Chain A
Amino acid sequence: MIRRHPLISVLILLLLVLLGWIWHERVNLQAFPDIIAAYTAKEYCSCRYVEGNPGEYCLGYVKQYVPTSAFADDPEKRLVTASGLGRTHSAQWLGERQGCRLTP
C-alpha cells in the first residue's frame, strides 16, 4: 500500500494526525468560536457603561481581526449582545460597583 500509493499514504497519515489533534484539543476547539462574541459583548458593555465612553468609540475599541456578524446595545436595559462565528453572547450592566458581566 505505502509503496504503491505513497501520496495517499502520506495524506492518510496527515489526516490521522489532524484527527488526533482535534481530539486532543476538542475542549478548546469547541469553546473557541465563543470568544469573539463574548469578548465583544463584555468589553463593549464595560467601555460604554462602566467607563462611560461614547458608543461609537466603544465599537472601535472592541474591534478585532475576527469579524462580528450582529451587534445590539439596549441602552434602557444596559444589555449588550454580539454574534460572531455562529455564536451569540450577551453582557449585562449590573450596577456601579459590579459593572458588566456575561449572562449565563
Chain B
Amino acid sequence: MPPEFLSMVKGLFCVALLLFTVTARAENWPTKDWPGGQALSGPAVKALEDYAFPTRDDVTRKGIRTDALLVIRDGQVIYERYAAPTTATTPHLTWSVSKSIMATVLGVAFSDYRFKLKDPVARFYPPMKQHPTVTMADLLHWASGLDWQEDYEYAPLKSSVVAMLYTRGRGDMAEFAADTGTFSGPGQAFRYSSGDTNLLSAALKGMLGHKAYVDYPWTALFKPLGIRNATWETDADETFVASSYAYLTARDLARIGLLMQRDGRWGERQLLPKEWVDFNRQPFDKYRAGQDEAVPGGHWWLNREVQGATRPWPDAPVDTFAALGHWGQALYVMPAEQLVIVRYGDDRDGSYRHNELLKRVVAAVAQQVQP
C-alpha cells in the first residue's frame, strides 16, 4: 500500500475522531450534579406554578399537591421547585414509576443477552410453570392474562395489590402473582397489573442468581448514571418490589429520563440497545383505546393515537412517553423537544391532569426559546 494512502486514511480517521469529540462535547450530561441552563421565566412560568403549586391543604388533602417539579432541557436544569418537606435531596417514593425503572434495569440485562422477549417467564421463574406460555414480552405489555385486580383504595377487599403489598402476598409477592388464575390467553389482552411487574422482578433474579441480583439495579443502572441515593425495597424473599417501592430524588429520576430521551445512550456508552427502547415506545397492539389513562408500550406509557381515539395528552407532543405512579408521581420524556420532566406529588383525589401540566411546561419552554 502506498504510504500517501495510509497517511490519508490516518488523516480522515483523525477528522472523524475530532468531529465525534466535538459532537459529544456539544451535549450536556450531568456529572456529580446537573448543569444549569437558562432558567424558565415570564408569565408562562407563573401559569405553570399556579397550576402545579396552589395553596396546599393538608387537612382535607384535596386538590393538586405537587411535592417536586423539575424540568431538564437538553441535559440542563431549567426549572426546579419543591414543596416542604420534600427537597432536592429527598429520595421520594415513586410508586408505579418503579415499573418503568425495572424495565430499564431489564434493558441492561437484555443488552447482555440474559433473555429474549419471546422467552417464557417459567424458564427463569419456576412458579410460572402454572402459566407456561406467558413470555417476558407479555409481562412487559401487562398482558399476562392473569386475573389481577389493581384497584387500591376503592375496593380494598378484592384488591390484588393491597393483598400483595400488605397482607397475603407480602412474604413472596411474585409467587402470590403466579398463583393468580387467568382471564385470557397470554399476550391477548391488556390488563394493568402490579403482579406482572413483580414477576419480571423475580424472572430477573432467576437470570442472575440471588447474589448478583441484590446489587444489580445499582451496578447495571444507578452507578453508570451517577445515581447515588436510591432505595429499592424488597419483599421477605429479597425480590425487589418492582411494582411500587423504588425511591429516588427528582434529580436522580431525571437521569433515567435523560437516558431514555437519548435512546438508551449515556455519554458514549449505549447502555440500552436502541431495539430495547424502540420496544418500550411501541404501543401494545392488543390495547383498546380508553382501557387506561395512557397507551401502554413495553412497561412505559405512550402519548399515541390508537384506533382513531385522540392521544391521551393532546397538548403534549406525540412522541411524549412517561413512567406514571400512584398519587401523581410522573417522569415525562419528550425526545424531540429534548425535555425531561419529573413531577412528584401527593394527590389524594383525581384532580391532577398530566395534559394540563405538560401543556403549561411546553408553553413556558416555547416562550423561553423565542428570541
- A: residues with CB less than 8 A from B are 25, 27-29, 31-32, 34-35, 38-39, 42, 46-47, 50-54, 57, 60-61, 96-102, 104
CA of A49 to CA of B89, assembled, Å: 14
Given contacts A28-B158, A32-B157, A51-B92, contact A100 B168 (CB under 8 A): no
Residues of B within 8 A of A34 (CB): 166-167
Residue pair A27, B247 in contact (C-beta under 8 Å): no
Q: Is the CB of A98 within 8 A of B234?
A: yes
Could you tell me if A101 and B233 are in contact, using CB atoms closer than 8 angstroms? yes
Partner of A102, one of B91, B162, B170, B247: B170
Known: A46-B93, A50-B91, A61-B346. Contact between A29 and B157, CB under 8 A? Answer: yes
Is B220 interfacial (CB-CB < 8 Å)? Answer: no
Given contacts A96-B231, A101-B235, A104-B171, A42 and B166 within 8 Å (CB-CB): yes
Tell me which residues across on chain A come within 8 A of B86, comparing CB atoms.
51, 53
Instruction: Sample 16 A-B pairs with CB under 8 A, ordered by A number.
Output: A31-B163, A32-B157, A32-B167, A38-B167, A38-B170, A39-B166, A46-B247, A50-B91, A51-B93, A52-B91, A53-B85, A53-B90, A97-B218, A97-B230, A98-B232, A99-B232
Whole-angstrom distance from the CB of B362 to the nearest CB of chain A?
Answer: 30
Residues of B within 8 A of A101 (CB): 233-236
B58 within 8 A of A: yes
Q: State the CA gap A35–B58 with chains docked (Å).
A: 23
Q: Once the chains are docked, how many angstroms separate the CA of A96 from the CA of B227?
A: 13
Q: Which of A51, A54, A104 counts the most chain B CB atoms within 10 A? A: A51
How many B residues face the partner with a CB closer than 8 A? Answer: 29
Q: Give the residues from 82 to 96 in chain B that come closer than 8 angstroms, CB to CB, to chain A.
A: 85-86, 90-93
Contact present for A99 and B171 (CB under 8 Å): no
Residue B185 CB within 8 A of the other chain: no
Q: Tell me the complex Cα distance, A54–B85, Å.
A: 8
Determine the distance from Cα of A53 to Cα of B156 in the docked complex, in whole angstroms.
27
Determine the distance from Cα of A31 to Cα of B157 in the docked complex, in whole angstroms. 8
A98 to B232, CA, bound (A): 6
Find chain A residues with CB under 8 A from B192 CB: none
CA distance A38 to B90 in the complex (A): 24
Say yes or no for B245: interface residue by CB 8 A criterion.
Answer: yes
Q: Are A51 and B157 in contact (CB under 8 A)?
A: no
Contacting residue for B247 out of A39, A51, A54, A104, CB 8 A: A51
Known contacts A98-B234, A101-B236, A31 near B91 by CB under 8 Å: no
Chain A residues contacting B157 (CB-CB under 8 Å) are 25, 28-29, 32
When the two chains form their complex, are residues B168 and A31 in contact, meaning their CB atoms are under 8 A apart? yes
Question: How long is the Cα–Cα vector from A29 to B167 in the complex, in angstroms?
Answer: 11
Closest 5 CB pairs of A and B: A31-B167, A38-B166, A99-B233, A99-B231, A53-B85
* Chain B min CB distance to A68 (Å): 14
Q: Which residues of A contact B158 (CB under 8 A)?
A: 28
- A102 B166 Cβ-Cβ under 8 A: yes
With A and B bound together, what is the CA distance between A96 and B91 in angstroms?
11
CA distance A97 to B222 in the complex (A): 12
